Structure 1
Amino acid sequence: MRRTCPPGCRRSPRSSRTPLAFATVSGAHLYGFPSADSDVDLRGVHVLPAERVVGLRTGPDTLERAWTREGVEVDLVTHDLAKFCRLLLRRNGYVLEQLLSPLVVAASPLHEELVALAPACLTRHHAHHYLGFARTQWRLFERTGRLKPLLYTFRVLLTGLHLMRSGEVRADLTHLYAYGPPYLPDLVAAKRAAEHGAAPPVPGAAEDVERLSAELAEARDSSALPEEPTAHDALHDLVVRARAFSACPCAALREPS
């Protein structure tokens, strides 16, 4: 289900000099707990022309831009199509969430093809991504006492659980409450009120994180998801076609109505 994009992000990706396959909203707006002063994080894919891949002057594989629109700071980071596809095949949860974000700022037929191939990129080993990120965020919370890393800890654990059990990538924490402890809505409300605030007292949070981590590891072992992605050949063909006709796949780049 497509959600409403935050202010400040529409139309801006069109000004990129390199053709875009897509741009979507990531970060706190995707995760369900943006505050009034949250930056807008845009992520996506650009398509380098063939001469920027096979010649002596290559790249860039990653492009970054930042601007302010309507008083909102917007950050756009895109990877070249080939780099993005390699990341998809490396069990990287970030790029899956970016590709499948319902907050679509710019799209193209190439984006639609990537979305259609996403299920063939899913494996049970994506659980390692979410478990590792959860450990990193929990350590950050223990060190700083900030609410943001605490919410990120729960967000990635529940996203991973849902993926292992259903085969669906769902990054919005507010749609995953059924998997988590009952105090999560209160934490989300507190985060929406203050971007950089301290976490309120949360008795039992450490135990809940430990329990959910164990559940995610168990869900990984029993998941119906495959051991390896099966999209390698299809993604290879997609990159070759896009590179051969680099002026074409993004020509229909459009913003959804």
Structure 2
Amino acid sequence: MSIPLSEPPASALIKARLASLAAQHQVTILYACESGSRASGFPSPDSDYDVRFIYAHPQDWYLALEEGRDVIDLPLEDSAAGVLDFGGWDVRKTLRLARKGNPVIWEWLQSPTVYHGLEAGLLQTLTATLAPFYSPIAACHHYLALCRGTMTRELTDPTVKIKKYFYMLRPLLAAAWIERYQSIPPMAFTPLRALLDNQAAIQASIDDLLARKHYTDEQIPIDRIALLDEFLHAELARVQQAAAKLPTATGDPANLDKLFKQFLISL
């Protein structure tokens, strides 16, 4: 499935908005990408553009006694391209979260749509430094929590929005990927579906949802699908039990300190 974000007008608009955000907040954008349904490959006609970015302040900002705010969260913005959702993390926060095993940075780095990329050498250094900090057990529990939280909120009424099924399926399959391969799961939804090769009925149900999501307003609820509900509950229970045996990260935090300094020196 093609991603509308590859269209120049949307990309150009988002890049211009990132530049204005950097000037407004007096930061340097280090990396910016598309996240959410567009990056995962199951957008609706009215899907938001979920733009996520990593930024750095000038060096003096990090020398203050009191730490400043380390996120940039903005209200949703209407634009000619659609609704824009911008959210950014300071580079120090990003590395701290990676040290704790938060898998979001590994998702961002594999996004198919990058608005502002790192210099090749720095990207290679970042990827290599982060590798031993990837914690299969922490990442698996992260995705399980996302799935479980959405199921708790959404599987209570007779109807559910189509997009919510994907907000349950995608993290659950990501957790199952980690449980099976103990590696970083793909951001894209299609490769994750390989885990369902022997479940034709589930695959067919997902195909139907993808087709409907592609042309339907994602805010319109549909009747719940018993087959998917049963799969979600059963697979969540299975992976939760198996996750306890997954390994933890092995990275040395001193290497993240070095990487943080390298980022600041490069500004």
> TM-score normalized by structure 2?
0.80
1:228, CA displacement in angstroms?
A: 2.4
User: For each residue in 1:42-80, what CA deviation from the matched residue of structure 2 results, as whole angstroms up to 9, or x when unmatched?
Assistant: 112101112111125753311234655443222221111
Aligned to 2:44: 35
Query: Residue 172 of structure 1: which of 183, 188, 200 is its match?
Result: 188
1:52–1:69 distance in 2 versus 1, CA, 3 Å: same
Provide the rounded CA distance (Å) in 2 between the counterparts of 1:37 and 1:4.
Answer: 11
Query: Residue 234 of structure 2: which of 203, 211, 217 is its match?
Result: 211
Provide the rounded CA distance (Å) in 2 between the counterparts of 1:157 and 1:175.
Answer: 13
Provide the rounded CA distance (Å) in 2 between the counterparts of 1:227 and 1:156.
Answer: 19
What secondary structure is seen at the aligned counterpart in 2 of 1:204?
helix
Query: Residue 83 of structure 1: which of 93, 110, 114 is its match?
Result: 93
Question: Is it true that 1:186 corresponds to 2:208 in the alignment?
Answer: yes
Aligned to 1:252: none
The question of whether the paired residues in 2 share the 8 Å contact of 1:22 and 1:44 is answered with yes
Query: Residue 248 of structure 2: which of 227, 238, 245 is its match?
Result: 227
1:127–1:9 distance in 2 versus 1, CA, 3 Å: same
Moved more, 211-220 or 200-209: 211-220
What secondary structure is seen at the aligned counterpart in 2 of 1:143?
coil
Provide the rounded CA distance (Å) in 1 between the counterparts of 2:179 and 2:150.
Answer: 20
Question: Is it true that 1:158 corresponds to 2:179 in the alignment?
Answer: no
What secondary structure is seen at the aligned counterpart in 2 of 1:101?
coil
Provide the rounded CA distance (Å) in 2 between the counterparts of 1:74 and 1:186.
Answer: 27
1:4–1:149 distance in 2 versus 1, CA, 3 Å: closer
1:191, CA displacement in angstroms?
A: 2.1
Query: Residue 117 of structure 1: which of 123, 129, 133 is its match?
Result: 129
The question of whether the paired residues in 1 share the 8 Å contact of 2:49 and 2:82 is answered with yes
Aligned to 2:111: 101
The question of whether the paired residues in 1 share the 8 Å contact of 2:34 and 2:113 is answered with yes
Q: Supply the AA of the counterpart residue of 1:116.
A: A
What secondary structure is seen at the aligned counterpart in 2 of 1:135?
helix
The question of whether the paired residues in 2 share the 8 Å contact of 1:9 and 1:105 is answered with yes
1:112, CA displacement in angstroms?
A: 4.1
1:93, CA displacement in angstroms?
A: 2.8
User: For each residue in 1:129-169, what CA deviation from the matched residue of structure 2 results, as whole angstroms up to 9, or x when unmatched?
Assistant: 11111111112221352222221111101012223323133
Question: Is it true that 1:146 corresponds to 2:161 in the alignment?
Answer: yes
The structure showing larger relative contact order (alpha-carbon pairs under 8 Å, at least 6 residues apart) is 1
1:209, CA displacement in angstroms?
A: 0.8
Give the % identical residues.
Answer: 23
1:72–1:111 distance in 2 versus 1, CA, 3 Å: farther
Q: Any stretches of 5+ residues in structure 1 without a counterpart?
A: 250-257
1:222–1:104 distance in 2 versus 1, CA, 3 Å: same
Question: Is it true that 1:237 corresponds to 2:224 in the alignment?
Answer: no
Q: Supply the AA of the counterpart residue of 2:174.
A: T
Provide the rounded CA distance (Å) in 2 between the counterparts of 1:165 and 1:114.
Answer: 26
Aligned to 1:74: 84
Moved more, 91-100 or 182-191: 91-100
Moved more, 166-175 or 65-74: 65-74
Q: Supply the AA of the counterpart residue of 1:142.
A: L
1:6, CA displacement in angstroms?
A: 4.3
Provide the rounded CA distance (Å) in 2 between the counterparts of 1:231 and 1:179.
Answer: 33
Q: Any stretches of 5+ residues in structure 2 without a counterpart?
A: 197-201
Aligned to 2:199: none
The question of whether the paired residues in 2 share the 8 Å contact of 1:140 and 1:149 is answered with no
Moved more, 170-179 or 36-45: 170-179
1:190–1:176 distance in 2 versus 1, CA, 3 Å: same
Provide the rounded CA distance (Å) in 2 between the counterparts of 1:139 and 1:218.
Answer: 18
Query: Residue 137 of structure 1: which of 142, 145, 150 is its match?
Result: 150
- Number of equivalenced pairs: 242
> TM-score normalized by structure 1?
0.83
